[in-house]
């Protein structure tokens, strides 16, 4: 309460609430960013071929 500068609990509850619409927008943004990151990781994983990650051995006879 002292950090927020409110004197009483009543003032704190009245003036420090976050609107539901702001919460929804914030959560929607988090979900959108997470989905974009997941999609990017998926594309990167699909772009790598399993054989490309195995080092090629040279046989000398």
Per-residue b or e along 31-42, where b marks 16 or more CB atoms closer than 10 Å to that residue's CB? eeeeeeeeeeee
Give pLDDT tens digits for 2-49: 665 656 777 766 666 677 888 889 999 999 999 999 999 999 998 875
The span from the CA of 53 to the CA of 39, in Å, is: 21
Cβ-contact 1, 12 below 8 angstroms:
yes
Using alpha carbons only, what angle is made at residue 17 by residues 14 and 22, rounded to the nearest 5 degrees?
145
| pLDDT (0 to 100) of residue 41 | 94
| pLDDT (0 to 100) of residue 17 | 66
Instruction: Evaluate if pTM is beyond 0.85.
Output: no
Give pLDDT tens digits for 47-61: 875 555 556 666 666
């Amino acid at each position: 309460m002292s950090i927020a500068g409110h004197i009483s609990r009543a003032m704190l509850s009245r003036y420090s609430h976050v609107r539901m619409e702001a919460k929804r927008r914030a959560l929607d943004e988090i979900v959108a960013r997470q989905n974009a990151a997941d999609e990017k990781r998926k594309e990167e994983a699909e772009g790598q071929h399993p054989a490309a990650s195995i080092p090629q051995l040279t046989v000398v006879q």
